[in-house]
Structure 1
């Protein structure tokens, strides 16, 4: 599951056990990306809090399925198959339109956001996300003006920025520690967007 030792759910004690109980899916499944933190539970707590607040918070105004599109896009750009597969499954579940989801994935794999069945503002977000992922120091204020011109407000631009930043962090966690999808249940996400303490997945 990873290149470093991890503590399985059945062997967890203390704070780790409590954290596992908060993030488990069906059958006490803990995603490997969370389990990889098990030797330092405080970092798992920080990771999950960031994930929950950036992607699954009721104060976001962009739709969750689009935030998942951004996650799949950034993960693909970073060659992180683990996050691509997890979040594409989540995207499909949230979008509830398999054909459209497959078209979005085809555009991502072609590295051409303009082919995606998205509106102009959503495509502009993908253009920004690519630059932020591949050449962050090359970003200039004009890139933000382009997002505004496409119809995004500054709060939505912040949402896009934070989702992209989170996924680059998650991708490096996975890639740097050899995290695999073996044993994971794909496509789960937190149900309760109003309570940051409720991490339950289904």
Structure 2
């Protein structure tokens, strides 16, 4: 499951057990990306709070399915198969258009998001995401102006930035600790966006 020791759900006690109870899915399943934090529960708590607020908060205005597209794209650029598989499954569930989802994934895997069935604003966000992921120091104010020019407002630009930044963090957590999808249930997410403290995966 990972290259470091983790504490199984049925052996957790104290603070870790309380956190596991908050992030569980069906049959007390805890995603491996969360379980990999089990030796330091405070970092699991920080990770989950960031994830929930960046990707699954009711104050976001960008459709959640497109935030998942950005996550799949960033994860693909970082060659993080774990996050690609998890978040593509979530993307498909949210988009509810299998053919379109598969076309988006094919474009992502080919490294040509401009060929995906996305609108001009979404395509611009994908370009920004690539630059932020592959060469962040090369970004200039004009890159943000490009996003404005296709209709994103500054709050939405912040959402795009934070989702891309979060996924690079998550990718490095997974890749740096050898986290696998073994035993995970793909595509679950904390879908109660109205309650930032509800971390349950369904």
> TM bucket by the smaller chain?
over 0.9
- The CA distance in 1 between the partners of 2:16 and 2:82, in whole Å, is 23
- The CA distance in 2 between the partners of 1:146 and 1:9, in whole Å, is 46
| Aligned position for 1:88 | 88
Deviation at 1:194, TM superposition (A): 1.1
| Aligned position for 1:191 | 191
| Aligned position for 1:61 | 61
- The CA distance in 2 between the partners of 1:25 and 1:137, in whole Å, is 38
- The CA distance in 1 between the partners of 2:35 and 2:161, in whole Å, is 26
> Which blocks of at least 5 consecutive residues in structure 1 are unaligned?
none
- The CA distance in 1 between the partners of 2:191 and 2:164, in whole Å, is 21
SS of 2:162's partner is helix
- The CA distance in 2 between the partners of 1:18 and 1:164, in whole Å, is 29
> Number of aligned pairs?
202
- The CA distance in 1 between the partners of 2:45 and 2:34, in whole Å, is 9
Deviation at 1:173, TM superposition (A): 0.1
- The CA distance in 1 between the partners of 2:122 and 2:153, in whole Å, is 12
Instruction: State yes or no: 1:150 paired with 2:150.
Output: yes
| Aligned position for 1:29 | 29
- The CA distance in 1 between the partners of 2:100 and 2:16, in whole Å, is 39
Q: Deviations over 1:71-109 (max 9, x none)?
A: 000000000000000000000000000000000001101
- The CA distance in 1 between the partners of 2:113 and 2:123, in whole Å, is 6
Give TM-score scaled by structure 2 length. 0.99
- The CA distance in 2 between the partners of 1:103 and 1:115, in whole Å, is 9
- Structure 1's consecutive aligned runs of 4 or more residues displaced over 3 angstroms after TM superposition are none
- The CA distance in 2 between the partners of 1:96 and 1:189, in whole Å, is 15
Q: Deviations over 1:104-139 (max 9, x none)?
A: 001101111111101100110000000000000000
| Aligned position for 1:112 | 112
Moved more, 90-99 or 190-199: 190-199
| Aligned position for 1:178 | 178
